A = this chain, B = another copy of it.
């Protein structure tokens, strides 16, 4: 059975794909909004992991819309949830899509879908949406990552990965007056990961 895994090259989406691998034909799918070519990092990681890879391009105006939400709210929750939900809807609507997965963990707060959004996604697009890590906590995900993957970790603005935040930050920096300080205040620095390859024991 084919499964499309929403992929950022971070440790969560990589581990989700690994856990599904024995049971599905995995295709990694990275979203790009045309702001920065972040999909290049994702493609490189996908090749190293040995999974087929696809970029799905969405309109930059979605990033513009998310930036407005972010600045209106003063924190990224609604903006990131909007980009994640929109990305999932686009992936679910692609031809020949039957199973769509992402790397959301039990203790993630953002992005997160409500039960109603999940039900609507499955009913509208006639697909199964799964979150393979939803039953796993952060510390155990880290144990499995250490066992199966080689990663680099660093502050969120220095790690090269293909998540929404990178393009959103870049858009605000370029398009907004004092964009740089807006980004600094709205995205507190946190540790991000980028997967290099599998770890073979």
Query: Which residues of chain B come closer than 8 Å to A134, judged between CB atoms?
Result: 106, 131, 134-135
**Known contacts A128-B137, A140-B99; is A147 also within 8 Å of B1 by CB?**
yes
Query: Which residues of chain B come closer than 8 Å to A143, judged between CB atoms?
Result: 1, 128
Q: How far is the CA of A106 from the CA of B132 in the complex (A)?
A: 11
Count residues on chain A whose CB falls below 8 Å from chain B CBs: 26
Q: Which of A122, A135, A147 has the most CB of B within 10 A?
A: A135
With CB as the reference atom, state the residue of chain B lying closest to A16.
B135
Contact A136 B130 (CB under 8 A): yes
Query: Which residues of chain B come closer than 8 Å to A1, judged between CB atoms?
Result: 143, 147
Q: How far is the CA of A134 from the CA of B131 in the complex (A)?
A: 8
Q: Is A133 an interface residue (CB 8 A)?
A: yes
Contact of A144 among B23, B136, B137 (CB under 8 A): B23
Q: Mark A111-139, 1 if CB is under 8 A from B, else 0.
A: 00000001000100000111111111101
Q: Is A110 an interface residue (CB 8 A)?
A: no
Q: Is A90 an interface residue (CB 8 A)?
A: no
Query: Which residues of chain B come closer than 8 Å to A136, judged between CB atoms?
Result: 128, 130
Contacts A/B (CB < 8 Å), 7 sampled = A1-B143, A22-B22, A101-B135, A106-B118, A129-B137, A130-B137, A134-B135
Given contacts A1-B147, A122-B139, A130-B135, 16 further A-B contacts (CB under 8 A): A1-B143, A19-B19, A22-B22, A23-B144, A99-B140, A101-B135, A106-B118, A106-B131, A128-B139, A128-B140, A130-B136, A131-B135, A132-B132, A132-B135, A133-B135, A134-B134
